[in-house]
Amino acid sequence: SIHLVYLFSNRPSGPLDACSLGAGPGRQALPCQPPPTNMKEFMQIRVDPPGITCGNPPERFCTLENPYLCSDECDASSPDLSHPPQLMGDRERGGLITYWQTITWSRYPEPLLANITLSWNKSLEVVDDIIITFEYGRPTSMVLEKSMDKGATWQPYQFYADDCLEAFGMSPKQVSDLAPTNLTRVICTEKYSRWVGAKEEKNVVFEVRARFGVFAGPKLINMDALYVRMETMKGLRDFFTFSNLRLRLLRPALGGTYVQRDNLLKYFYAVSNIDVPARCRCNLHASRCVLRDATLQCECEHNTGGQDCQRCRGGFRSRSWRPGSYLPLPRGAANTYCECNGHSNRCSYIDFINVVTCVSCKHNTRGQSCQYCRLGYYRNASLPLDDDNICADCDCDPDGSASPHCSDSGLCRCKAGATGRRCDSCVSGFTWRGGGAENLCDSERLLCQNGGTCVDFLRCTCPGNSTGTSVRKMGRCCDDEGGASAALKHFLLLATRR
């Protein structure tokens, strides 16, 4: 579970964190999917064949590392000596290792076969390495299988053997041999099956992290690249998806040598833990997954429904369902350009024109599918259509604008002299005075004469105190004692032009 934290730390910040509210200030810019968790908490474990679990009748067993010390006992009727399947998924406390254990290989040469089936009956997406921990040695050969349809059909996920060619007729590979083009290939690996001592290496791993690394780079620094691939590369998302897993144990650990028939009590399987770090697959239409009636279930949004949000909700069936997408980064998109785009929960059927139309569109939207913005609002092109903030206020300046409405791109219609998207600034030669007002003086074109200084683009102040008053206040010239000077005439001319 340590892995999970830095891999996908997008746990929603609170219970109200709904995917449709993913945008806006203070909200996280992340795709709409539930956080990952260790799915061992929710798995149903079944082992086959019946009678494979040790202890009924009670049995003695030895160990590979000390084959003449056979003092251990498995007894299903004793709590301390029993090893039921549940111990593969328990939370071990206080350092005590608990494990499921099989009967020994006393019926050799008949193969010692065991299946461990882990059922969730819910589409899951694995987000980190699946780790199976074997006590008393890892199997000489085994297969990890997966089902995507609740156990109806199975397919191999990875083969494990100390000799892949002999066990499965496959040449041994490692994940590091895989390239982006063949990442979804099922391989046989010898890495987790060779005998190195039962205590030295206990884990058999299905490498998810290393596969992600093929796209996201070492240490998974570029997760965006992985998301893009998930969206664009056929079969990639499905490769990491399963509803159930099965371990087919085909041959137990042999201690690095051939089978010793005189001491078969040292051959058996024992599994102490199975970690399955995964998230519910909700097709990017839910941020939460809950246990309901003992079954995992996405809490679907975007008017979708079903266990995996794999269809449109009842009453929202007139358009076809689509999965959400990881693109555009980083938030992804709901792709629910259907019905009311998430801006209304109510539709009304207008009989005589045979049209279903949304009622009471929220978020300043309007239209049959709430697909337009109300007058006075315009569409934010960088947001998906179902975003709560899709319609931005035109916010046209009441002084500078001729109308409170704006164009599709948010441009307000300006009065003369005003400019800017909101008509809240002036074209050159104009100054803002409750709207764009033409300048009467400035420091470039309409200079004050005779050493005067232009104040507020409206009046000139003149050097010395002896000159006139009226022109001094309003005009551009400071050469007049008052009266109808050329400057005043000029001012009056400008004033009339306004």
Residues at the contact surface with Ca ion, assessed by CB under 5 A? 87, 90, 98, 272-273
Q: Which CB atom, from 92 or from 177, has the smaller least distance to Ca ion?
A: 92
Q: Which CB atom, from 271 or from 286, has the smaller least distance to Ca ion?
A: 271
User: Alpha-carbon distance 190 to 159, whole Å?
Assistant: 9
Q: Which CB atom, from 112 or from 488, has the smaller least distance to ligand NAG?
A: 112
Give the residues lining the site for ligand NAG (CB under 6 A). 23, 44, 48-49, 113, 115, 119, 121, 145, 150-151, 154, 173, 177-179, 181-182, 185, 187, 246, 248, 295, 380, 382-383, 392, 464-465
Which residue, 436, 262, 303, 368, is CA-closest to 18?
Answer: 303
Judged by beta carbon distances under 5 to 8 A according to partner kind, the member of Ca ion, ligand NAG, none in contact with residue 21 is none
Judging by DSSP bridges, how do beta strands 188-189 and 155-161 pair with one another?
parallel
Task: Tally Cβ neighbours within 10 Å of residue 443.
Answer: 10
At residue 291's C-alpha, the angle toward residues 302 and 100, to 5°, is 140
Nearest approach in angstroms of CB 197 to ligand NAG is 28
Q: Which CB atom, from 185 or from 346, has the smaller least distance to ligand NAG?
A: 185
Place of tokens 């998930």: 230
User: Alpha-carbon distance 305 to 186, whole Å?
Assistant: 33
Evaluate the CA torsion angle 255, 257, 258, 264 in order and state its sign: negative
Name 492's Cβ contacts closer than 8 Å, sequence gap at least 6: none
Nearest approach in angstroms of CB 240 to ligand NAG is 17
Which residue, 108, 98, 111, is CA-closest to 49?
Answer: 111
Nearest approach in angstroms of CB 252 to Ca ion is 19
Judged by beta carbon distances under 5 to 8 A according to partner kind, the member of ligand NAG, Ca ion, none in contact with residue 66 is none
Nearest approach in angstroms of CB 111 to Ca ion is 26
User: Alpha-carbon distance 186 to 176, whole Å?
Assistant: 13
At residue 441's C-alpha, the angle toward residues 438 and 442, to 5°, is 100
Q: How far is CA 289 from CA 89, 298, 306, in A?
A: 20, 4, 12
Q: Which CB atom, from 151 or from 330, has the smaller least distance to ligand NAG?
A: 151
Judged by beta carbon distances under 5 to 8 A according to partner kind, the member of ligand NAG, Ca ion, none in contact with residue 113 is ligand NAG
Residue closest to Ca ion (Cβ) = 98
Judged by beta carbon distances under 5 to 8 A according to partner kind, the member of Ca ion, ligand NAG, none in contact with residue 48 is ligand NAG
Nearest approach in angstroms of CB 82 to ligand NAG is 21
Judged by beta carbon distances under 5 to 8 A according to partner kind, the member of Ca ion, ligand NAG, none in contact with residue 25 is none
Nearest approach in angstroms of CB 173 to ligand NAG is 5
Q: Which CB atom, from 182 or from 348, has the smaller least distance to ligand NAG?
A: 182
